[in-house]
Amino acid sequence: MAPKILISDKIEAVCPESFKRAGFEVDEKSGLTPEALGEIIGGYHGLVVRSATKVTSEILEKGAAGNLKIVGRAGAGLDNIDGAAAQRLNVKVVNTPGLNANAVAELTIGLIIILARKLWPAMESIKAGRWEKKNLGGYEIAGKTIGLLGLGAVGKLVAAKAIGLGLKVLAYDPIIGQKAIEAVGAQAVGFEELFKLSDYLSLHLPKTKETANIVDAKVLALMKPTSYLINCARGGLVDEGALYAALKEKRLAGAATDVFDKEPPDPMPLMELANFVAIPHLGASTQEAQLAVAEKVALLIIGYLNGGELSGLAGGV
């Protein structure tokens, strides 16, 4: 009997095609409710998700009671999968860290330029028929300091691109240590020092119990009133209420975020601020990244269900 795969989020065609070439049966059913997913998950050996499907303990329990052996995340983040439940139920979890890193790194640099040159209000004003050239003078980023909170696959690429653009790079990452930080051309600093010294502070770490709301009111108070915060990592790393207060009171020059605590976000005061740039989780939304993660997650699951070694174990951002 051929293994059966459920793809519950929209994904590039290379993913289902890879399964079919390997002789697997594939169903693509995006937009399932948790109840509907729970009803059918036990009939599948593997589940492929992106960020929309929430793989809860309840769904995993129903899957493990049937045929479910593995869940694959086409991407790096794992906050939509209950990893503890998967481990308890012996359901393997794989992801594809690093394959969308360049896409996220390029977006990070793009948002920094948007903030520095005030391109967000400039685009809005000219589309509204206003010519506000005198009021929209910005800053050059060369010679400024960027601080990276986290130096994984994305952070390292941001560091390289920032150095190429003439920025000084500071980084804090207690996991990899000072030598690894210096190896990419960055200067290792302490946590509070990173926020105090950076003109642009960019987040590059996963959301865990330890990192939830790591950027809170206390941390934001350390930043210079001329500095900017960029988050292309994960929603929930930043206390959105505290960020609103800092931006509203001009204790922070601006912020740009690609991610939110709840996605899609509910109406929020942040969206009313001219110095807040928001985009709808586009970090990995490039053709190159989507193709890469879609193919890789299929190959990982195929290899495992065919009895091979399990590589690409979940982890990293």
Give the Cα separation of 207 and 89 in Å (integer): 23
pLDDT beyond 50 at 316 = no
Asked if pLDDT for residue 317 goes beyond 60, the answer is no
Please provide the average confidence, as pLDDT, over all residues in the chain.
94
Which active-site residues does the annotation give?
234, 263, 281
**Common-topology check for domains 4-99+287-305 and 101-278:** yes
Q: Which residue carries 């005198």 as its tokens?
A: 134
User: How confident is the model over 106-157, as pLDDT tens digits?
Assistant: 999 999 999 999 999 999 999 999 999 999 999 999 999 999 999 999 999 9
Percentage, residues of the chain above pLDDT 70: 97
| Contact of 163 with 155, CB cutoff 8 Å | no
Per CATH, the number for 101-278 is 3.40.50.720
Token pair for residue 202? 């960019």
35, pLDDT greater than 50: yes
Give the list of residues 6+ apart from residue 271 with CB closer than 8 angstroms, or none. 265, 278
- The predicted-structure confidence for 95-119, as pLDDT tens digits, reads as follows 998 899 999 999 999 999 999 999 9
Q: Which two tokens stand for residue 209?
A: 């119990």
pTM: 0.86
Q: What's the mean pLDDT in 292-312?
A: 87
Write out the two tokens for 263: 């996605």
What pLDDT is attached to residue 51? 86
Q: What is the mean pLDDT of residues 177-197?
A: 97
Query: Domain map of the chain by residue range?
Result: 4-99+287-305, 101-278
What's the alpha-carbon Rg for the chain, to the nearest Å? 21
According to the model, what pLDDT value does residue 309 have?
A: 66
The whole-number pLDDT of residue 180 equals: 95
Surface-to-core class of residue 122, CB atoms within 10 Å of its CB (0-12 exposed, 13-18 middle, 19+ buried): middle
44-53, 70-79, 273-282: range with lowest mean pLDDT? 70-79
Distances (CA, A) of 75 to 52, 212, 284, 291: 12, 20, 8, 11
Fold of 4-99+287-305: Rossmann fold (3.40.50)
pLDDT confidence of residue 76: 83
pLDDT digits (tens, 9 = 90+) for 67-87: 999 999 998 888 899 999 999
What is the pLDDT at residue 311?
56
pLDDT at position 77 is 80
pLDDT at res. 314: 47
The DSSP call for residue 299 is: H
Render pLDDT for 198-231 as a digit per residue (tens, 0 to 9).
Answer: 999 999 998 989 999 999 999 999 999 999 999 9
